[in-house]
Chain A
Amino acid sequence: MPLSWIVLGLLAFAMAGFFLGRARATRAVQGDARKLHSLPFYYGAHVFLMTFVSAFGLLVFWMAAQPSVIGWWIGAGLEGEPGAITLQLSEIKRGAAQLLETGTSPYDAASVVGAGAVRYAGMVQAGHLFMVVAVVLVALGGFFVSLRQVSGEFRARNSVEASVRGLLIGASLIAILTTVGIFLALIFNTIEFFRIYPASQFLFGTVWQPSSGGGAMQPLGLLPLLWGTLFISAIALAVAVPIGLFAAIYLAEYATPRFRNTVKPLLEVLAGIPSIVYGLFALLTVGPMLLKVFGSGGLGWMQGASSVMTAGLVMGIMLIPFVSSLSDDIINAVPQALRDGSYGLGATRSETIRQVVLPAALPGIVGAIILAASRAIGETMLVVFGAGAAGRLSANPFEAMTTVTAKIVSQLTGDSDFTQPEVLVAYALGTTLFLVTLGLNLLAQKIVAKYREQYT
């Protein structure tokens, strides 16, 4: 049975439960709803939630757990060293998938892989059948138990409240657990990388020259990439923070409401332009323009259109609406009473802004800047286009350099062999990025907390 039909069936069944539960509650008090503990709607909702949520939860859990359970089962029957088993298992899975789809296996049924694929396919089908049965049973169970609970005294409203709370907790748990999961996946693969590649060589190496099949001898130094990332981000922030902040101050303090209401949505549209479009802009417009001035025809500092300056400038432009929109909201949140107080003492607008409004808004503005910095560090498409491809440690902003993110892309695109250091290094790079942005966020929190202590 296809999945969508199961879900639709469950929904229909649970809706029926809703109406039955509501009707049963009304009947229990001879139609006088005032004698019910809760409004009739809540009795229906109680039956609906008990039927649908429990069965649907089981469905999701089963589908998430089934592949790993079957894989573990089949894998336990295979012989060989761990690496070989993993390889065999993925072949078995591929075979089973084809078997289920077309009915024919690509492998000889007598071979280990072929037999495994047949077994695997069989278990998938059986598992699916069990799942449908279990889901239907749980739905029926929830339906009848909750329907029986319905009576005049039953506190359906409180029960629905508890369910709603449970749903909300579930949603936040999913958000937290996926983050933890991503982090763990990064960490484990990073550890795997450091097993086959010396950590000191990665962390302190000043040369980045991956070569396929180079093993532990190839130079995979982090420093040139990190330098590129930080250099570009610094230029981007140097462009975005002053311009964005001044634009926000103009919008919040000087502009007429009409102007503000027109410009602010426009700025927010600008923030929604995909970064690859900015990348094109960098590659085709800004790069050549810079080249004309700083290239061999001009000052001679620049070799090609791709450079730290190109990527940094365009990234700065990309971040302006981000900084200004956030700062504008924050400046607007500063109480009018503070401005009145300052004007009342004979201060001008710019004095008021500099000495009263901005200090009061500073924690929020610092937060906005750190958010922008996190985005700059994590930005990928723009630097792939604008910054260049070679890792280089140089102080000249007109040279092409590359960044951590751009190298993650290049190490993982194409055929990837996840046992080689030049591929696994992507995880170590990812962890580095994660730690840098985490550090920035902690720093921001610290700044904000310190500021709060002082002034409120």
Chain B
Amino acid sequence: MFDAKISETTVTQNDIKIAARKVQVYYGEAHAIKDVSVDILDKTVTAFIGPSGCGKSTFLRCINRMNDTIPICRVEGDILLDGEDIYDKRVDPVNLRARVGMVFQKPNPFPKSIYDNVAYGPRIHGLARTKADLDEIVERALRRGAIWEEVKDRLHQPGTGLSGGQQQRLCIARAVATEPEVLLMDEPCSALDPIATAQVEELIDELRQSYSVVIVTHSMQQAARVSQKTAFFHLGNLVEYGDTEQIFTNPVDPRTESYITGRIG
């Protein structure tokens, strides 16, 4: 079951970053997420696994209120970020999303230059005072996205001209550039080849030093490689949540065992 584990970076701080309590999500009549409660730790990679349609992406999108953009979607229950309810009326979802960044399944660079793609968030949120500031932010983000060396000579060419793997790393750099506290990744490697996947996985492990990373994945090897915590979703329920090693070697719930051994899903 286990591939070579990416070398663990020593991380000391492990406070609860996100606390979800009795979260319910409805799409119109359909009950997509049923009573999910979970604590996501800071500076930790948490993997959400489960068969297609089990609600893991939906739950992920609750954490930065991306579901607000879908008119028929309704969320109940509490999700606390650093102890604050993000569904409180006073919380501005736009500001929330600056704190909780997101990387999507398909690389979605904007039809702009590489530089402008990365500078997009900092510009919107006014993070840079001068052009030199912005240049620095962009370079730092691209370096963290492990793509700086490849694009430093073509910063002003369109981001859409990059290869799929480069585009996805650009999108990660773009998300990192706004200095979020949490990074949500919705199957970030499903459109990538194995080499690009390996690069992104390495990147995820590095990002763990600064952020809480939540990744949805269909690959159990990937979950085992990159995460310290794993949550298994099935039919809208959170079946089991625990240390990745425990989930993959000694699952408590028979459904988890069936899934990771390939019997359901």
Q: Which residues of A contact B (CB under 8 A)?
A: 256-257, 335, 337-348, 351, 355-356, 359-360, 454-456
Contacts and interface: CB of A to CB of B under 8 A. Distances in A.
A340 B124 contact: no
A345 B175 CA distance: 6
B112 interface: yes
A337 B174 CA distance: 14
A209 to B, nearest CB: 53
Contacts of B95: 346
Interface of B: 64, 66, 69, 71, 94-99, 101-104, 106, 108-112, 120-121, 124-125, 158, 160, 171, 174-175, 178
A345 B111 contact: no
A455 B104 contact: no
Nearest to A337: B108
Contact of A345 (B69, B112, B124, B160): B124
6 contacts: A338-B108, A341-B104, A341-B174, A343-B97, A346-B125, A347-B124
Nearest to B103: A344
A337 B160 contact: no
A356 B66 contact: no
Given A341-B171, A454-B158, A346 B121 contact: yes
A256 B71 CA distance: 8
A359 B106 contact: no
A388 B65 CA distance: 58
A414 B149 CA distance: 76
Contacts, number: 77
Contact of B110 (A256, A257, A343, A356): A356
A332 to B, nearest CB: 15
A337 B178 contact: no
Nearest to B109: A341
Contacts of A359: 110-112
A342 B120 contact: yes
Given A337-B104, A346-B121, A351-B124, A456 B171 contact: no
B121 A345 contact: yes
Given A345-B175, A356-B110, A456-B158, 8 more contacts: A340-B108, A342-B110, A345-B174, A346-B96, A346-B178, A347-B124, A356-B111, A359-B112
Given A344-B97, A351-B124, A335 B175 contact: no
Contacts of A456: 111, 158, 160
A340 B66 contact: yes
B173 to A, nearest CB: 12
A335 B121 contact: no
B20 to A, nearest CB: 19
Given A360-B111, A455-B112, A345 B104 contact: no
Nearest to A347: B124
B108 A345 contact: no
B98 A345 contact: yes
B120 A345 contact: yes
Contacts of B69: 339-340, 343
B81 to A, nearest CB: 14
Contacts of A455: 111-112, 158, 160
Contacts of B98: 345-346
A342 B108 CA distance: 9
Given A346-B178, A456-B158, A341 B110 contact: yes
B241 to A, nearest CB: 25
A344 B158 contact: no
Contacts of B99: 346
A205 B121 CA distance: 56
Contacts of B174: 341, 345
Contacts of A355: 110, 120
